[in-house]
Amino acid sequence: MHLTLDKIQPILIEAYDLAQFIFAILGVISIPLLFFKNRSFDEDNATLPPDSFTLFLEKTCSQLGIPRLMMYIRPQAYYDNLSKQLNDSELAKSSKGAVICLASAVEASDESAHVSGLVNTGNSCFLNSVLQAMSSLPHLHTYLEHVSNISTGVPLPVTRSLLKTLRAITKPLYRRSSFRPVDIVAALSSNRRIISREQQDAQEFFQLVSSAMETEGQQIAKTESLGGGLRDLLGTSSGMASGMMQIKKKLTTTNVENPLTGLLANRLSCMQCGYTSAIRHFSFNNIQLNVPNKYTATLAECLAKFTDIEYLEDANCRRCSFETTVKSLTTQISECKKEMKKKKDRLEATIQVKKLEDAKREIERRLKTGRIEEEEEDKGDRLRLLNSVSRSSTKQVMLAKPPKVLCLHISRSAFLNTGAIYKNTCQLLFPEYLDVSPFSTNGTLHTQPDLPISTPTQKSDCFYRLMSVVVHYGSHSFGHFVAFKRRIYADQCKCFSCTGGKASGLEEWKCQNAWYRISDSKVDECSLDDVLRSNPYMLLYELIDEDEYTQEMTSVEESEEEEEWDDMSVLSSTDYNNMPMDNATKEALRIANSLLIVDHC
């Protein structure tokens, strides 16, 4: 059958008319939408409730095949409305603290069980990948549940919504399923960047969530310390005993550290005089590591680079500044005394000399007593004469208190000579088990500029196990985030529904060697080798004790020996020239190639 112009022309006319009809409907929708977009409503006086209008628009957009239109134009109303719709669903069910029940028809330890994916609501793969990665952290589950059960009257929107979302993701399922992470997005809705149309960064979202958790945890500690202090100290002997019991209970309920937070030790030493200022400690919830501009690198190399001694040429040394100021003041005092003999009015010169001598005496006293770093408000006028001196110095950062959950952000931004920015695709090799003792401080701290803060000891107690990985495919400006996560499970759900409203402690989470590869709503099983072959953007490790590390390393060595014998029997019959790629590799290449084409266009 041959198509002629006479036959094609009616088809084109009908397609054109259909397109005009669709655009006309969109125009009719957009007119009232723009009217209601920035209009505030009073629930008592409004004739058309905004929620009803939002629902009407969402249903209309859904019928037209554009359900995400409302999210872009009125994101707050969109997510508020979705939250209300989910009140009667399993995701929103809560007995106390909005906790999802983990009970399921599937055995918790079944490695073939499915877990929920997360729907991409428009460039939200950065958000979905981080939530999936965080859901495989037992220490984080325990912390969130512990804090959510504390009754202090403090609102905990981020903590409780994050707990509910992570439990819903972790719950074992017998079939594939996915949902929208409405609760955590609604809790973070004050930050418009999270629900905007622009593509965001996974590390930025992780930073935002962990900082919000830390803020809410500090509010709980502050509220209990203010509310219980006076009440515990007043009363009769029986009241005192009751107060002591409350204090003990408080110590066991609120002194729970955020597993994402650790401490870094920072030391700055002068190469000229050998002075080392006080070793300062800073809290952190993730560490940024730079990869070298080469084909491959190891995680140990990046950590060693992060903790290496750095040599500076423009750092201010307090001791050198004090000593230089003393010499300068001595010269000024001598010149002022010479001028006193020439002037008839010596009162002003005498006052100036006294002021300089007092400043000199104060600085010499602080040099002698070693109080160089102290700041005194009443001596501020004297210390303003201090001359800042830049010397050659050394700077070093080490882990002072490794967190229970170690998040490593692999920075891949690089710059050309022209100033253009591009993605560094260096392949990072990382282990399943990580020992961070070579990069951590111990009981002995060194202040010598040319020595590290601490020397690693023979015995190590800083072992970590890989729990999840976030990978970015694409270029620097465009891309797609995917998560790899280890399967964890709880033998028994201890929510209020399963325990009949009785408090029976927290779930005990266990790890398996089963892994998932998750791309938004698509969840597939994968192997550890697939995970280790990925080129990570974020790595999440969890702290384990030495006995557990030794036991698991022994099992790993035994399994490797068995695999070696199996590989030897397969080598002769395998044609490596025509080795097929797995589905994960094919999908990654397809996404990367398509994004690369878009980037160049």
Residue 497's Cα: distance from chain center in Å?
32
Mean pLDDT of the chain: 75
pLDDT attached to residue 11? 80
Q: Is residue 490 predicted with pLDDT exceeding 50?
A: yes
pLDDT attached to residue 421? 87
pLDDT attached to residue 42? 36
Mean pLDDT on 133-145: 93
User: How confident is the model over 26-44, as pLDDT tens digits?
Assistant: 777 766 665 554 443 333 3
Q: Is residue 549 predicted with pLDDT exceeding 50?
A: yes
Entry field: residues in the chain: 601
* β-strands 178-179, 117-118 pairing: parallel
Residue that is written with structure tokens 């001196």 in the block:
389
pLDDT attached to residue 17? 81
293, containing H or E segment: none
Of 73, 60, 69, which is closest to residue 52 (Cα–Cα)? Answer: 60
Q: Is residue 240 predicted with pLDDT exceeding 60?
A: no
Instruction: Give the pair of three-digit tokens for residue 51.
Output: 């929620």
Q: Is residue 58 predicted with pLDDT exceeding 90?
A: no
pLDDT attached to residue 69? 52
How far apart are the C-alpha atoms of 305 and 393, rounded to whole Å?
18
pLDDT attached to residue 110? 77
Provide the pLDDT confidence category of residue 403 given band limits of 50, 70 and 90.
Answer: very high
Q: Is residue 207 predicted with pLDDT exceeding 80?
A: yes
pLDDT attached to residue 140? 94
Percent of the chain with pLDDT over 90: 26
Instruction: Give the pair of three-digit tokens for residue 445.
Output: 């701290």
Residue 572: burial class (beta carbons within 10 Å; 0-12, 13-18, 19+): exposed
- The answer to whether the predicted template modeling score (pTM) of the entire model surpasses 0.85 is no
Instruction: Give the pair of three-digit tokens for residue 435.
Output: 């020992």
- Please give the residue that has the higher pLDDT: either 32 or 445: 445
Mean pLDDT on 485-501: 82
Mean pLDDT on 395-415: 92
Q: Is residue 481 predicted with pLDDT exceeding 60?
A: yes
Say whether 336 sits in a helix, a strand or coil: helix
Q: Is residue 271 predicted with pLDDT exceeding 70?
A: yes
How far apart are the C-alpha atoms of 124 and 129, rounded to whole Å?
9
Mean pLDDT on 431-458: 85
User: How confident is the model over 369-391, as pLDDT tens digits?
Assistant: 877 776 654 454 445 555 666 77
Q: Is residue 592 predicted with pLDDT exceeding 80?
A: no
How far apart are the C-alpha atoms of 448 and 394, rounded to whole Å?
10
User: How confident is the model over 409-441, as pLDDT tens digits?
Assistant: 999 988 888 878 888 999 999 999 999 999 998
Say whether 457 sits in a helix, a strand or coil: coil
Instruction: Give the pair of three-digit tokens for residue 96.
Output: 């106390």
pLDDT attached to residue 574? 37
Burial 212-221 (b: 16+ CB within 10 A, else e): bbbebbeebb
pLDDT attached to residue 443? 75
- Please give the residue that has the higher pLDDT: either 206 or 108: 206
- Please give the residue that has the higher pLDDT: either 244 or 510: 510
Mean pLDDT on 566-593: 49
How far apart are the C-alpha atoms of 143 and 298, rounded to whole Å?
31
Which of 51-60, 196-205, 337-346 has the least mean pLDDT?
Answer: 51-60
Mean pLDDT on 503-520: 86
Question: CA dist 122 to 51, 69, 118, Å?
Answer: 22, 10, 12
Instruction: Give the pair of three-digit tokens for residue 437.
Output: 């003792």
Question: CA dist 509 to 171, 322, 490, Å?
Answer: 12, 56, 5
Q: Is residue 116 predicted with pLDDT exceeding 70?
A: yes
- Please give the residue that has the higher pLDDT: either 241 or 521: 521
Mean pLDDT on 319-327: 84
Mean pLDDT on 465-476: 93
Provide the pLDDT confidence category of residue 538 given band limits of 50, 70 and 90.
Answer: very high
The β-bridge partners of 282 are 264
Beta strands in 193-276 (DSSP E): 262-270
Which of 40-54, 179-193, 470-484, 538-552 has the least mean pLDDT?
Answer: 40-54
Percent of the chain with pLDDT over 70: 67
Q: Is residue 559 predicted with pLDDT exceeding 80?
A: no
Residue 29's Cα: distance from chain center in Å?
39
Q: Where are the alpha helices (DSSP H) in 103-201?
A: 125-134, 138-148, 157-170, 182-187
Q: Nearest-5° angle of CA 72, CA 75, CA 77?
A: 135
Which of 129-138, 200-209, 257-266, 311-320 has the least mean pLDDT?
Answer: 311-320
pLDDT attached to residue 33? 60
Q: Is residue 223 predicted with pLDDT exceeding 80?
A: no
Provide the pLDDT confidence category of residue 56 given band limits of 50, 70 and 90.
Answer: low
